[in-house]
Amino acid sequence: MTEAAETRLQNGALAVQQAREKYEVLKAKGLKLNLTRGKPSAAQLDLSAALLALPGAADYMAEGATDTRNYGGLQGLAEVRRLFAGIMGAPAEQVVAANNSSLALMHDVIAYSLLKGTCDSASAWGKHGEIAFLCPVPGYDRHFTICETYGIRMIPVALGEDGPDMREVERLVAQDASIKAMWCMPKYSNPTGTVYSRAVIERLAAMKTAAADFRLLWDNAYAVHHLTEERVEIANILELCAKHGHASRAFVFASTSKITLAGSGLGLFAASPDNVKWLLARMTPRTIGPDKINQLRHARFLKDEAGIFALMEKHRALIAPKFQKVLDIFQEHLAGVEGVSWTRPKGGYFITLEAPRGCARRVVALAKEAGIELTPAGAPFPHGKDPEDRTIRIAPTFPELAEVAQAAEGVALCVLLAAAEK
């Protein structure tokens, strides 16, 4: 062994020892912290406390002489569809306002497509043999779970700085008619914070697809969820699809789950007139209509788009410091560590931490042992399998600021230990 190699080895052993000592101190604290899920904090929920007493005992009539207490109104209240038209990037007539959970809407359009086909399908997707969806990675685990549940093959494509690898996407969809859809989180993507560039969005709208009934599952979950002064805007997918002759290519989803109340918000859908007609026809056997009182409640509380933006500023005041705290701590402990990087999102609910290759599972296990619950390593990948075992999703919104700091410190220590062990 050369002297230099021996020194390296000794240094390495020392680094592990030092990291382990710090980790033992961390463990001894007996923390009980949770950074797993993108949940709003109680303080964020308090911002919408007024909703809990709305609309009030004498207020139940909506536009068009609609008694919101009774049955009907499948597409949702007109004033609510108008309220969200700007955010959805579609006229109110092309918006569907539903019950809580945009995830349920996404699930349902897929279930309807499997059982009956889209408005452009020759037959039900379930009768096409194996079908596949493109899955930009890292991505949202619940999107992937829907695919897994229904045996839809997931084809990962790399998510870059400005969106998915479009050369790969175009190549795949052009040749393979079994590719029926693609998951997209175009703004402040979960978990990377990626914003799709105009060029990427236009290519998604314009590309040739082998499947005539190909769909972009456009989950714009963080449409107004800014973390900086900059209100990042993205290109309008519905307009671009129409411009390029694929008017019905995109299903656009959003919700107020992280605007008002996480469990009691409104799910929203927008698409071409043909798609909306299709969805309403598919929903008709399922339900007579959504909870219109909750819609009225939201209309009374949010009032207009300015009301939504003002509320989102209050959210930002509560959560931006938590993101900043995590970034500061990572900078302090992890800057310059080989193979370690993290995202600095301008919006959304997550920071992605990239550990050295092969370390993510170890980091999550170490953190768990020290009382810090992290999203399982691999979760942002189809079937929970991160091919490089690197990506860790950090969700800083739910705990108090002091807990976020403790947890971030702890995670940084775990990264250092796992890296040193390597």
Positions that interact with a copy of itself (CB under 8 A): 37, 39-40, 42, 45, 48-50, 52-60, 67-73, 99-101, 103-104, 107-108, 111, 114-116, 126, 142, 145-146, 148-150, 257, 261-264, 284-294
Which residues, including other chains, have CB under 8 Å from residue 229's CB and lie 6 or more apart? none
**Nearer to a copy of itself among residue 48 and residue 343 (C-beta):** 48
Least separation in angstroms between residue 382's CB and a copy of itself is: 14
Q: Please say whether the beta carbons of 296 and 68 come within 8 A.
A: yes
Least separation in angstroms between residue 112's CB and a copy of itself is: 9
Q: What SS3 state is found at 162? A: coil
Position 335: which residue type?
A
- Closest by CA position to 388, among listed 378, 397, 396: 378
Q: Please say whether the beta carbons of 99 and 267 come within 8 A.
A: yes
**Nearer to a copy of itself among residue 342 and residue 349 (C-beta):** 349
**Nearer to a copy of itself among residue 48 and residue 391 (C-beta):** 48
Q: What SS3 state is found at 130? A: coil
Least separation in angstroms between residue 10's CB and a copy of itself is: 49
**Nearer to a copy of itself among residue 60 and residue 309 (C-beta):** 60
Q: According to DSSP H, which parts of 131-261 are helical? A: 141-149, 166-175, 198-206, 237-243
Q: Where are the beta strands (DSSP E) in 312-403?
A: 341-342, 351-354, 372-373, 391-394
Q: Please say whether the beta carbons of 40 and 397 come within 8 A.
A: yes
**Nearer to a copy of itself among residue 22 and residue 393 (C-beta):** 393
Which residues, including other chains, have CB under 8 Å from residue 315's CB and lie 6 or more apart? 40, 44, 47, 225, 258, 259
Least separation in angstroms between residue 155's CB and a copy of itself is: 19
**Nearer to a copy of itself among residue 11 and residue 149 (C-beta):** 149
Residue showing tokens 């969820």: 225
Q: Please say whether the beta carbons of 253 and 221 come within 8 A.
A: yes
DSSP 171: H
Least separation in angstroms between residue 372's CB and a copy of itself is: 20
- Closest by CA position to 99, among listed 119, 80, 118: 80
**Nearer to a copy of itself among residue 5 and residue 42 (C-beta):** 42
Least separation in angstroms between residue 297's CB and a copy of itself is: 9
Least separation in angstroms between residue 264's CB and a copy of itself is: 4
Least separation in angstroms between residue 31's CB and a copy of itself is: 20
Q: Please say whether the beta carbons of 112 and 120 come within 8 A.
A: no
**Nearer to a copy of itself among residue 395 and residue 412 (C-beta):** 395
Structure tokens belonging to residue 5: 């190699």
Greatest alpha-carbon span in the chain: 87
Cis ω for the linkage preceding 399 (within 30 of 0): no
Least separation in angstroms between residue 156's CB and a copy of itself is: 19
**Nearer to a copy of itself among residue 62 and residue 184 (C-beta):** 62
**Nearer to a copy of itself among residue 147 and residue 240 (C-beta):** 147
Structure tokens belonging to residue 155: 């084809």
Least separation in angstroms between residue 232's CB and a copy of itself is: 25
Q: Please say whether the beta carbons of 179 and 148 come within 8 A.
A: no
